[in-house]
Homo-oligomer: A and B are copies of this chain.
Amino acid sequence: MSQPVRIYGDRRSGNCLKVKWTADYLGLDYDWHEIDVVKGETRSDDFLAINPAGQVPCLERSDGRILAQSNAIIFHLARGSALIPDDEFDQAKMLEWMFWEQYSHEPFIAVRRFRKAFMNTPDEEIDPDLMAKGRRALGVMEMRLLSRDFIVRDQVTLADIALVAYTRVADEGGFDLDEFLGVRSWVARVEQEIGIDMDDGRMSPLG
């Protein structure tokens, strides 16, 4: 008998929520296995046997095979759906923004939020580079969104899901989206289009 798909993740992590939102949007059946990153559960022997890289999210398919890296997992889950453009160039452009997110956005915006909102590190003890580089990333997005409703073209794709994950909670990292109005309205558009619960992954639920 085949097992259901299992997702290992921490619900406060944007990288993990990308997988949840994609699975929910596509109506996939899955079993969520909560892993607490702050308690060090990604470095336990049990978890390292699943993913030697010691990172969530992680997908365990019904055939037992394991897939890691949020953006690779959502690419795999969304094959054949409208979340991946048919056009080959658009698909490459979508991947461009997903790689950019992991290299030039997440390491500053998500990391500053982690320090500030999870670890309660005082602002003056947080590397000032994180604010500068995070703001730079938001500026690059703002330019891209000046003439577009979504990152790739005129409909939501995985690039929007990947980028919205930490952009929508950037305020928890001390970033002010009032300075990036194009980004702010895009966040609302993606949340609505994907059906993201506003409180998902927020340290301080909006009420």
- Asked, given contacts A76-B89, A92-B76, whether A69 binds B140 with beta carbons under 8 Å apart, the answer is no
- 0/1 interface trace, chain A 81-114, chain B, CB 8 Å (1 if under): 0000000110011011111101110110000000
Query: Are B68 and A100 interface neighbours, CB within 8 A?
Result: yes
CB < 8 Å: which of B65, B93, B99, B107 contacts A99? B99
Q: Is A71 an interface residue (CB 8 A)?
A: yes
**Chain B residues with CB below 8 A from A99, complex form:** 69-72, 98-99, 102
Query: Are A92 and B72 interface neighbours, CB within 8 A?
Result: yes
Query: Are A72 and B53 interface neighbours, CB within 8 A?
Result: no
Number of interface residues of A (CB under 8 A): 33
Q: Is A30 an interface residue (CB 8 A)?
A: no
**Chain B residues with CB below 8 A from A71, complex form:** 95, 99
- 0/1 interface trace, chain A 110-145, chain B, CB 8 Å (1 if under): 000000000000000000000000000000100110
A-B contact pairs, 9 of them (CB 8 A): A67-B92, A71-B99, A72-B96, A72-B98, A75-B92, A75-B95, A76-B89, A102-B103, A103-B103
